[in-house]
Structures are given as C-alpha cells and as structure tokens.
Amino acid sequence: MKVIIDEKIHEKCNNISIGSIEAQVVVREENEELWKIIDEKAKEIEVNVPVKQISTLKNISDSRSAYKAFGKDPSRYRLSSEALYRRVARGLGLYRVNNVVDINNLISLESAYSVGTYDLDKLSGDIHFTIADEGETYEGIGKGDLNIANLPVFYDDKGKFGSTTSDSVRAMITVEAKHILMNIISFNGDSELEKYMDEACELLEKYAFDKILSKEINKW
C-alpha cells in the first residue's frame, strides 16, 4: 500500500505531509473507557477554546489557507477538524460511531489536523492525494451527494473516496472492517506528525485490539 501526493496538489501547496498508519483492527461499537478520554478532551476544548478562535488555531488556519489556494471556500466547505472543534466548543459533544472512528476523531481534536480512516479491503491499488476536478461528486457520509470540486481528495483505482472535509461512504469504517488506513493530513509540514501518529498507534493498540502493519510519513 502506497500513499502518493500528486503534483497537481503539490503545485498549489508545497508543504503537504500525510502521516499514514496501516493496521489490523477489531471494530466495536462501544468502549466506555475510550469515551471517557474523548469526553475529557471535548470538555477541555469547550472550556478553553471560544468558537470565534477556532479558525485561528495554527493547524486549522494553515489548512484553511490551503483550501483558499485550491479555490475552495473553507467557511462553506469546512475542514473536518474545524467542524469537530466547532461542535465540541459549542458543548454539543461528538457522535459515538465505533472505536476506530472515535479514535480518528480524538486524534483530530488533539492535533487540529483533519484525519481520515478507511477500510482498505474496499480500496484497490495505490492511494493518491490530489485536487478534485470541476463537476466531481461522491456520496459523503451523512451528507448525501457532496460537491468535491477543488477539494483535496484521496483516490484509488476505483475513483475518489475521501477528503479533508468529508469522506465517502465507499470506504467508511463499519463493524466489518479489519484492515484500515488512518491518514493524518498536514498542510504545514511534518514537524508534529510523528507525535500524533504515535498517539494514534497507542490508542488503536489499546482500544481496537490493533496490530500496526506500517507507519510512514508521506510527502512530496
């Protein structure tokens, strides 16, 4: 499995790095111990991060700047990390999905980077990161038909399946998933990625009965 950053997106933002973790997991719908950790992080953000300041957090701000360079309005098509922050800062908490998706969201809250996790058994060939063309859409998770034009997106041999705004249903993590890829996407270099990748691996090993198969930082 390779994650490749295409020249098309590199031309618009030359500081992209992706921390990729490939792992075997057991997906479970509930884990109360994990949720205590998530709730504590959510409460910390709710108390300490006003909604108006979220867009100024460095990793979110740099990602918003990248969106503008791609030609996408980050206030209309919010980064998944910003959307999570805004939700918890308003005291709404997070949806419980399953242990792997919940770890994905916790790492996004910890890092303020967008994080995407995918069922590798539903993907084919190498995985690329690029900018979607005009007119492209896919079925976003909980969003219906999503306009992905000018969004940073992942694609495989079958087409586009994920973005830093919303992933598609095609490779979403369900209880049947056993072989996953977690991508932590940075638009401001790789200086912090190793730390968050290590944290993600620890959480996966503890709460998703995980076996790490590979851990790699991909960049141009």
Predicted local distance difference test score (pLDDT) of residue 210: 77
Higher pLDDT, 59 or 210: 59
Contact 34, 99 (CB under 8 A): yes
The whole-angstrom separation of Cα 22 and Cα 218 is: 13
Domain count, the chain: 1
Contact 49, 36 (CB under 8 A): no
Residue 97: name the closest of 36, 166, 27, 165 by CA: 27
Q: What is the pLDDT of residues 88-107, one digit of tens each?
A: 999 999 989 999 999 999 99
The whole-angstrom separation of Cα 153 and Cα 9 is: 9
The domain of 42 spans: 3-219
- Tokens at residue 176, please? 């049947």
Could you tell me how many helices (H) and strands (E) the chain has, helices first? 6, 10
Q: pLDDT tier at 18 (50, 70, 90 boundaries)? A: very high
Q: pLDDT tier at 143 (50, 70, 90 boundaries)? A: confident
Contact 18, 183 (CB under 8 A): yes
Q: pLDDT tier at 64 (50, 70, 90 boundaries)? A: very high
The whole-angstrom separation of Cα 10 and Cα 131 is: 9
Predicted local distance difference test score (pLDDT) of residue 155: 98
CATH number of residue 212's parent domain: 3.50.40.10
